[in-house]
């Protein structure tokens, strides 16, 4: 079964004015699609061709000779997860179980915000900032390039993409502004709650 590009969970203009339809058109339609195409080409005719995306990632993680497959598979997964981390009218303080757990593990929502933004800002070059569940506790991590919590026995709860193609058309080099807008106006806490519960 070929890996396919999932549709965005909203219209391309749904996140405006925070993320433009132009950015989503390139980011989803070009970058995400390229990872899908590359992955299918790399696994065609191999034992991985019939596996799920998650199984492919776990099968090739930490294998230097399979790094091309890992990078493309992980980027397909990371991007699909990221689209769901945003919604129209999102952002602000969470409610429900994720709110309780954030306060429990970080001390306050404000402390979480500062730590999450710091992870995104200090990820040198391309990568991701994550809220993950590990050993029953929430923690903030950052991964370089295509790396993903799935390869580290961590459960992903939330992510923000800090590759420049995620924000450059709208924010140029102002990554801090993009992270601020992500948390204030875009983050999908319903998705985070669902991940925490799953």
Closest CA to 188 of 101, 116, 85, 78: 85
| φ, ψ at 62 (rounded to 5°) | 65, 20
Residues making up the annotated binding site for Mn(2+) are 27, 79, 161, 165
Q: In which residue are the tokens 């989803």 written?
A: 28
Closest CA to 182 of 133, 135, 129: 129
Question: From residue 136, how far is each of 79, 105, 115, 142 by CA, in Å?
Answer: 25, 10, 19, 18
Dist CA 191 CA 139 (whole Å): 17
Residues making up the annotated binding site are 27, 79, 161, 165
Dist CA 39 CA 73 (whole Å): 6
Given a contact cutoff of 8 angstroms between Cβ atoms, the answer to whether 80 and 146 are in contact is: no
């Amino acid at each position: 079964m070929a890996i396919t590009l999932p549709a965005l969970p909203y219209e391309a203009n749904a996140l405006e004015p925070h993320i433009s339809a132009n950015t989503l058109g390139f980011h989803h339609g070009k970058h995400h699609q390229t990872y899908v195409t590359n992955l299918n080409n790399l696994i065609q005719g191999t034992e991985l061709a019939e596996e799920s995306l998650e199984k492919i990632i776990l099968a090739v993680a930490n294998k230097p000779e399979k790094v091309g497959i890992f990078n493309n598979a992980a980027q397909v997964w990371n991007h699909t997860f990221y689209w769901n981390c945003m919604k129209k009218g999102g952002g602000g303080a969470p409610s429900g179980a994720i709110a309780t757990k954030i306060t429990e593990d970080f001390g306050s929502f404000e402390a979480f915000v500062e730590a999450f933004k710091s992870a995104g800002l200090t990820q040198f070059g391309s990568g991701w900032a994550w809220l993950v569940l590990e050993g029953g506790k929430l923690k903030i991590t950052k991964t370089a390039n295509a790396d993903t919590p799935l390869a580290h026995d961590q459960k992903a709860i939330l992510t923000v993409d800090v590759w420049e193609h995620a924000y450059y058309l709208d924010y140029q080099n102002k990554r801090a502004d993009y992270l601020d807008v992500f948390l204030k106006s875009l983050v999908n806490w319903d998705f985070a709650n669902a991940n925490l519960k799953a």
